[in-house]
Structure 1
């Protein structure tokens, strides 16, 4: 087993070096990674083919196999993502506020990297590229653990990234490290004195088990139970289009719709049309009693309302009002992404105000909840936390802040007692 604490200590030292690297150097490292991915494309594809063959022999689910594939088009997509990240403005060292506490005593609030981040992810090799580049751009060191099903691909990608940044500046040494086994990552969770944040990308069980196993802060979501509500004032042509995309465009991801709610006033017109479209894509429908009176569907159980299928399966429920839809969403949603389709602006605003999710949408597919689509360049994951970062977490979610106080010899004693000096607390920026 790799000495995990030694790796964490090296990552900590790297994080101190990275925090002061100029933006130009960080961007140069990203461009070097992009070029290396393209130049080593054949090597990466060969490694991925080995993983895909092993996955098929092991009869891994089609969902995981689809996520596992990292061939030429996926590599080119990853390169575009890296180069889009280069274009993002710097989030390190930004002046967030400046306050003059008193004459000659100025307090700055400035963004800075979080430090050392541990990331565990399942199946998707592209996550390794995204996360590594996001961490380097934001000045953080990262320790990564991918799924065993992507072992060969992840190892080649990690070597490619490490080699690429080493040729740019020696200060990148140990900034990106790949852990080999699940046991190593479990060991990493014990080192809360060296690791500042854990980001899990994977199943509900994975996220929950990590949250229960460490004192290190964990940023992530435990499930992607997303809803779309078709309101009584919806444009039904639009609703069919949006709901089809939300379920079918890529069902294996956390922002795909899992439950469709339909107002009873439009259910008779809408559901047969929607079911016909889903039938073309072989979507299995599971409906409540009211739904099954209108379309063919498997009887839905109570468990279906809180299920994350990650597949071409959809729960369908008819509701009597906007408030009933909101109540259902807040009860069963994982607070990830939920949408309403309606022409009524007031209804849309009420839904978006009262639904307690990291992303809420009006007349748009839940699949838009994504770092790249939000203009964040890429994402390390989607957070349903209510502290620090929420929703798709890009560069801004990987920095925190520090206070910098500049004085001219002031002491606290001067501001105490009968003749004390007074604070002005004047906002400068």
Structure 2
């Protein structure tokens, strides 16, 4: 048995212990972690500054933005830990209670998945979010951060594990891997790991999806769109567009393509182009766009690209249906929005766009577990099967069927004179 197998086995054992702890014990552990992170804020930020210095000029600007863990981002992550502690307990929830026959009662009860394998690039705050959700949901977690965040992730993991030693949660339930070679072996540990959650570039997520038998939760691309309809409030449209592109361009929920209804393009394009250029955004437009504003030429590759940077592709479309067709063809099923005062158009858009998040008159930047009130998120899923969209506690829970009887056997309900089931739903 390899060292990583031994570690995974320890995590699995600790996870089983964690899964049967009381809610109060798990919440106590979360609050202990939050207090420890507050106590050692300066230590964490110093470690992150080391990572940032070594990564500067080596990694992309979007990856660098995710790597940087300043005071405000750290405080927000700590607040997220406490928010998770306040959420309702996801374990032991009964979603079905049915009498099959007198004295034979079936229940469907929520329970933890087991052990999560979470691999993420750059974002050390993801370690805090994922750890808090794992503990609350009764799951163990094996974390692998990018090499560019090694100092920060190591300091966070040490602080969290030390904090857990003062609680009923076994510190072995939270593990950190530190070498790239460990990723390949982690992906092969289907005996111990129940779910893999990759967070990073589309190439990285695809690599994970193609190299493991373990179920994978995540999304490969974040190609988000904003459509400005003919009945849009143009002042509102400008504010939403600027926010959706520039508030945090490295995020997977930032827009990469702006679609504009042809009937308002002459009026809207010059204003939005100026507002975006004032924020340092590079614009790339189709032929119709270039006739109205000065910008680079957009190609088919631009409609397929997640820039994660201050670059925006613009396309003028003939109508609502053309916009929907473009999004469903080029989009990544992440988050797409429409700006319009026409309620019927908004409903058509939200019903026909095949994405995890469909928005009306608001920024795509709201696609986030914290903003949804989930406390935090382990990632965003664009798959059709649930969980979909920002994944909080509900995505880390499965269920089992519990059947309680007093000696019943199946033969009683078959044969020549079978006894009938009652099938009465109970409250």
Report the TM-score when normalising by structure 2: 0.98
Give the 5 Å matches for 1:11-410: 11-56=11-56, 58-169=57-168, 171-410=169-408
SS at structure 1 position matched to 2:323: helix
Task: Say if 2:369 and 2:392, in contact at 8 Å, map to a contact too.
Answer: yes
Separation in structure 2 between the aligned mates of residue 76 and residue 204 of structure 1, nearest angstrom? 28
Task: Say if 2:133 and 2:393, in contact at 8 Å, map to a contact too.
Answer: yes
SS at structure 2 position matched to 1:240: helix
Separation in structure 2 between the aligned mates of residue 54 and residue 173 of structure 1, nearest angstrom? 30
1:166-193 CA-partner distances (Å, limit 9, x unpaired)? 1112x42310000111111210111111
Shift of the alpha carbon at 1:419? 1.2
Task: Say if 1:63 and 1:311, in contact at 8 Å, map to a contact too.
Answer: yes
Task: Say if 1:9 and 1:194, in contact at 8 Å, map to a contact too.
Answer: yes
SS at structure 2 position matched to 1:402: strand
Separation in structure 2 between the aligned mates of residue 237 and residue 388 of structure 1, nearest angstrom? 36
Shift of the alpha carbon at 1:72? 2.5
Greater Cα shift, 46-55 or 68-77: 68-77
The list of structure 1 runs, each at least 4 consecutive aligned residues, that deviate by more than 3 angstroms after superposition, is none
Separation in structure 2 between the aligned mates of residue 49 and residue 235 of structure 1, nearest angstrom? 43
Separation in structure 1 between the aligned mates of residue 254 and residue 183 of structure 2, nearest angstrom? 29
SS at structure 2 position matched to 1:84: helix
RMSD: 1.2
Task: Say if 1:106 and 1:405, in contact at 8 Å, map to a contact too.
Answer: yes
Task: Say if 2:107 and 2:402, in contact at 8 Å, map to a contact too.
Answer: yes
Shift of the alpha carbon at 1:234? 0.9
Separation in structure 1 between the aligned mates of residue 105 and residue 335 of structure 2, nearest angstrom? 41
Task: Say if 2:162 and 2:171, in contact at 8 Å, map to a contact too.
Answer: no
Separation in structure 1 between the aligned mates of residue 265 and residue 421 of structure 2, nearest angstrom? 63
Report the TM-score when normalising by structure 1: 0.98
Separation in structure 2 between the aligned mates of residue 323 and residue 101 of structure 1, nearest angstrom? 49
Separation in structure 1 between the aligned mates of residue 260 and residue 70 of structure 2, nearest angstrom? 40
SS at structure 2 position matched to 1:192: coil
Separation in structure 2 between the aligned mates of residue 360 and residue 177 of structure 1, nearest angstrom? 36
Separation in structure 1 between the aligned mates of residue 9 and residue 94 of structure 2, nearest angstrom? 29
1:339-362 CA-partner distances (Å, limit 9, x unpaired)? 011111111111111111000000
Task: Say if 2:61 and 2:309, in contact at 8 Å, map to a contact too.
Answer: no
SS at structure 2 position matched to 1:174: helix
Separation in structure 2 between the aligned mates of residue 312 and residue 75 of structure 1, nearest angstrom? 24
Shift of the alpha carbon at 1:61? 2.2
SS at structure 1 position matched to 2:354: coil
Separation in structure 1 between the aligned mates of residue 172 and residue 167 of structure 2, nearest angstrom? 14
Separation in structure 2 between the aligned mates of residue 2 and residue 199 of structure 1, nearest angstrom? 22
Shift of the alpha carbon at 1:2? 7.7
Task: Say if 2:118 and 2:196, in contact at 8 Å, map to a contact too.
Answer: yes
Separation in structure 2 between the aligned mates of residue 177 and residue 50 of structure 1, nearest angstrom? 22
Query: Structure 2: any 5+ residue segments left out of the alignment?
Result: none
Task: Say if 1:2 and 1:184, in contact at 8 Å, map to a contact too.
Answer: no
Shift of the alpha carbon at 1:75? 2.1
